[in-house]
Structure 1
Amino acid sequence: MKAKKIYFASDQHFGAPNAEKSLQREKVFVKWLDTIKKDAEAIFLLGDLFDFWFEYKHVVPKGFVRVLGKIAEIRDAGIPIYFFVGNHDLWMIDYFEKELNIPVYREPTEFTLHNKTFLIGHGDGLGPGDKGYKFLKKIFVNPLSNWLFKWLHPDLGMGLAKYLSVENKTISGAEDVHFLGEYKEHLILYCKEVLKEKHYDYFVFGHRHLPMIFDLPHNSQYINTGDWISYFTYGVLENGVFDIKEYK
């Protein structure tokens, strides 16, 4: 029997830059999901699936029916899916949990997979620097801020949030997509600090939009799954070995 695989993907940003181009990428991602469901042991979605997501009590963002339908189909087939909120879908509440039976994580979380230890998350706000975004994130996740935003009509609220998601680089968390070097990459520095206290075989994050496998001290590796805008890359764990692949 062929060994099962665990898949990781992040930063699809569906909804950006416009409905037409987003739909093209969404169809590609759904095709990939359809391909991997045949041998997937589990799927980790590491955040920013949407370029903007906010849940009102009775309203969620319009669109995305193809990807949501495919995720529901895979989950209904018994394949576990884990979702980590990113800086663009911070306002995920319980829609995925109630409608899709998918757990939602808001912080880096430990997993043991194929006898390897993992620390998995989206990656925003980790490591040194980025103080502007870290300050704004505290405001965005504050229950009072969420309560006040809900009083805006969805047409106004979602229109405003979508504009800020694209135009405000502090909010969007946009970074230089070129490798900045071992001593300037915030997530590499974060991993090294964590390793001083506890060992993990793999650190797996998104957010950076830059696919890479970087060797860390003590036989550990930092993995970034890239994105589905420029790279169309994903991570795959098979028999305890992690690899980054491109979907073509």
Structure 2
Amino acid sequence: MISIITSENKKVYFASDQHLGAPTPKASLPREKKFVAWLDEVKKDAEAIFLLGDLFDFWFEYKTVVPKGFVRVLGKLAEIKDSGIPIYFFVGNHDLWMTDYFKKELNIPVYHKPQEFLINNKKFFIGHGDGLGPGDKGYKRMKKVFTFPLFKWLFKWLHPDLGVKLGQYMSVKNKLISGDEDAKFLGEENEWLVQYCKKKLAQKHYDYFVFGHRHLPLEIDLPQKSKYINLGDWIQYFTYGVFDVDNLQLLKYEKNLIK
């Protein structure tokens, strides 16, 4: 378990589901600029930054090729990491094919499963959130196909121009893959991540469960004085989490940029 103790006046930030590149690179550019502006602001008092997946709407790492674009956000992440601020990245269902590019180029660790963190002696369980809890069987079957080594090996044999174009098309068009076809609160009893958190709590106590994936900003109290936080997205809500001393809350980034 990684332990983080914040220095005086420092905070820990969380963001998820930017889906840069969707529905087209041109259309997502204003959102990328807005997210970069947010990164530029939070670096002033950030002890650490957590990115909880689906930063890109599609990402695939060939041996010597990665998808074109995203230079603004990649450059800003490199700048922040080089300044000494830790960044932790969790893959989502749209960028689950990440391997070692972030680690080698940006020195940012990449996690493919939820992880435990201890922040100011508060226990956090952090991940993207896809495929957790009951239900969502169609996506779970699809994820097994996409993460199967033979499928990834076969996909690598596609020319990058074809492979990236195909992946982008599938990410935008296929709601089964995107996992965000119904961004409406379903009630606690029907929210799979809430059910997952309650099951985890029966085994071990956590102060906070922090996920993305649902594209809904949610703060739900759980048993044992625990709390489930969903970070929302950077498509409609532009919400993020900030942990200050011993409390985690959701905020909205209101800054509007000239396109």
User: Normalized against structure 2, the TM-score is what?
Assistant: 0.94
State the SS of the aligned residue for 1:218: helix
- Runs of 4+ residues deviating >4 angstroms: none
Alignment partner for residue 142 of structure 1, among 148, 164, 167? Answer: 148
CA deviation vs aligned residue, 1:177-206 (integer Å, no higher than 9, x gap): 111001000100100010110110000000
Return the alpha-carbon distance in structure 2 between the equivalents of residues 244 and 201 of structure 1. 15
CA deviation vs aligned residue, 1:84-143 (integer Å, no higher than 9, x gap): 000000100100000000000011100000110000000000010111110111111111
Are residue 243 (structure 1) and residue 249 (structure 2) matched?
yes
Q: 1:7, 1:44 within 8 Å by CA — same for their partners in 2? A: yes
Q: 1:9, 1:45 within 8 Å by CA — same for their partners in 2? A: yes
Query: What does 1:61-140 align with in structure 2 at a 5 Å threshold?
Result: 61-140=67-146
Are residue 208 (structure 1) and residue 186 (structure 2) matched?
no
Unaligned residue ranges in structure 1 (runs of 5+): none
Return the alpha-carbon distance in structure 2 between the equivalents of residues 39 and 168 of structure 1. 39
Q: Report how many residues are paired.
A: 248
The residue aligned with 2:234 is 228
State the SS of the aligned residue for 1:44: strand
Unaligned residue ranges in structure 2 (runs of 5+): 1-6, 255-259
State the SS of the aligned residue for 2:67: coil
Return the alpha-carbon distance in structure 2 between the equivalents of residues 230 and 223 of structure 1. 17
Shift of 1:174: 2.0
Return the alpha-carbon distance in structure 1 between the equivalents of residues 123 and 250 of structure 2. 18
Return the alpha-carbon distance in structure 1 between the equivalents of residues 248 and 64 of structure 2. 40
State the superposition RMSD in angstroms: 0.9
Return the alpha-carbon distance in structure 2 between the equivalents of residues 210 and 73 of structure 1. 29
Shift of 1:144: 1.1
Q: Which amino acid aligns with 2:173?
A: E
User: Normalized against structure 1, the TM-score is what?
Assistant: 0.98
State the SS of the aligned residue for 1:33: helix
Are residue 42 (structure 1) and residue 31 (structure 2) matched?
no
Identity within the alignment, %? 71
